Amino acid sequence: MLHIVQTALSLGCIYSLVALALFLSYRVLDIADLTTDGCFVLGMAVSVSSAAAGHPIMGLFLAILAGGCAGIVTALLQTRLGVPSIIAGIITNTGLYTINLMAMGWSSNVSLIKQETIFTMFRNTGIGGSWYAIILAAAISFFCMFIMREFLKTRLGLSIRATGDNRDMVSASSINPKFMITVGLFMSNCFTGLSGAIAGQLQKSADINAGTGIVVIGLATLIIGETVINGRKSISRNILACLVGNIIYRFIYAIVLQTRIIPIEGLKLMTAIIVAAAIAAPYVRTSLEIQKRARRELRDDA
Amino acid sequence: MLDIQNISKIFNPGTVNEKVALNGLSLKVEDGDFITVVGSNGAGKSTLFNAISGVFLADSGKIILDGENITFQPDYVRSRYIGRMFQDPLKGTAPHMTIEENLALAYLRAEKNSNPFSRITRKEKELFRERLKMLDMGLEDRMNTPVGTLSGGQRQALTLLMATLVPPKILLLDEHTAALDPQAAEKIMNLTREITEKNHTTCLMVTHNLKQAVSIGNRTLMMAGGDIVVDLKGKERDGLTIQDLMNLFKEHAGKEFDNDRILLSE
């Protein structure tokens, strides 16, 4: 039981970075960035390959950089070459499949057997006992959340927020919206890459298919978090929602895995339903209210 | 000085929807001018403003501002010295950001090389508060309120303040009071005069209110068919009445001007 809790918490912290990335691209910039799936695997591939070569920490930084580059490719496709944003993400994502294979030495799977990872290095310091993985994952997650929160208060951060909020007004304030989209997608994909990097080193392997559906799961966790702690109220809350939603999701995942209420193969379908329902909820609620009112008032008139 | 030389813009060329929006228009605007622009819908007023502010590139012609050819500059570069306001109060502000954050964005035009990772300073907050007081709407005490919660009049006042926070060389006002109730419209108009007079800002204002057109500013342009058909300034314009302007309209724009958006009220 304890092991389940620990796994859920550490995975929740690690995957919260994907939600954080989607918060920046989807919520702040108002762009559906489909680079996420491939970018996650890219981070994982780079970091695990690096660790396999004996450089686990360097691997994290390289993964961040690699993720950021993927974000820039998507951004340039849409801002400089006129590709619609969703297509731009899909194109990058498709291309990344090959890049990811290359990063893993043209194999679809890389495993770490005896090599050091950031987790084994941290365990050897003796801090936290059996909770070491959670402590390290949480520390990185909180650090990233802090960076994001402070960044959005800077002039650059404000400009990015305005780009997603009112693009007309942004160009009227001497801000180049294309540049802001590029910076925003660079940053968000840095976080996605980092998330993949840590996940890879925790499970000591990288797999070419590890990223399938990550973008939907990320959105689901973001929305779950926002609903649970009323996250749309302020930036800080919204950032915290990324973590809260992920931990909840990972607990649900663990319970399903343990109890087999639904077959584990059905989890992706459940995730898709959660996302669809969560995004549709406000719209459905409004139209139901209108219908209800119409029925009542028309009956009263009759 | 703004010098517009022979600019043309045709939308949907070669199709049945072809529309000549600007037809070889030339205009010289002196520093400190306050010009009112009238004309029926489709006369090319907004297209002219879009061309000046760089929303699109004119098909031909040049735009020169203070000796610099700005024809090919993108809109966000021009916005350093060309301010703009629209009829729609929602267009000029970011709704989910606070009043303070919106002002901070507008203030970005001031410092060319400010550090992108710096925050809003206390000194800037003080400046914003002081400017907000000028509006006399109590907004200085609501600096942390999201702009989306303000009324249309308040948002338009804030937009005006943002457009002039760093005084632009030219301010383009595209019917910026048309969507407001009469009281709010008057308030915004008075503020516009106050601020532009204080900064000696060169200003072009589109209006459908003929009383405004003759009473405000020092020059009046009438547009039709994508060109300027009447240009009144100095003595010709002194003592011009609404009726005179109406007659000019009938003469130059013909039936085109037959439209209910023109306000004849006193």
**pLDDT, tens digit, 9 for 90 and up, residues B179-190:** 899 998 999 999
Q: What pLDDT, in 10s, does the model give residues B32-65?
A: 999 999 988 888 999 999 999 999 899 999 999 9
Could you report how far apart the first and last alpha carbons of chain A are, in Å? 61
pLDDT at B257 over 80: no
Q: What is the pLDDT of residues B89-105, one digit of tens each?
A: 899 999 999 999 999 99
- For A66-123, write each residue's pLDDT tens digit: 999 999 999 999 999 999 999 999 999 999 999 999 999 999 999 998 899 999 999 9
Look up tokens 């059905």; give the residue: A266
**Edge-to-edge strands, sheet with B227-233:** B82-85, B170-174, B202-206, B34-39, B219-224, B227-233
Interface test with A, best of B93, B108, B156 (most A CBs within 10 A): B108
**What distance lies between CA A6 and its chain's CA centroid?**
20
- Closest alpha carbon to B55 in A79, A168, A164: A168
Interface test with B, best of A79, A173, A187 (most B CBs within 10 A): A173
Nearest to B165 by CA among B243, B254, B79: B79
At residue A228, the pLDDT reads: 87
Q: Do B105 and A156 touch (CB under 8 A)?
A: no
Least confident span in A4-13, A135-144, A278-287, B216-225: A278-287
- C-beta atoms of A173 and B117 within 8 A: no
> What tens digit of pLDDT does each residue of A57-82 get?
999 999 999 999 999 999 999 999 99
* Interface residue A170 vs chain B (CB under 8 A): yes
Handedness of CA B46, B47, B48, B54 (dihedral sign): positive
Contact (Cβ atoms closer than 8 angstroms) between residue B203 and residue B171: yes
Q: Domains along chain B?
A: 1-81+169-266 (3.40.50.300), 96-167 (no CATH)
Nearest to A76 by CA among A91, A61, A58, A55: A91
> What's the rounded Cα separation, in Å, for the pair A173 and A158?
12
Cβ–Cβ contact B103 with A under 8 A: no
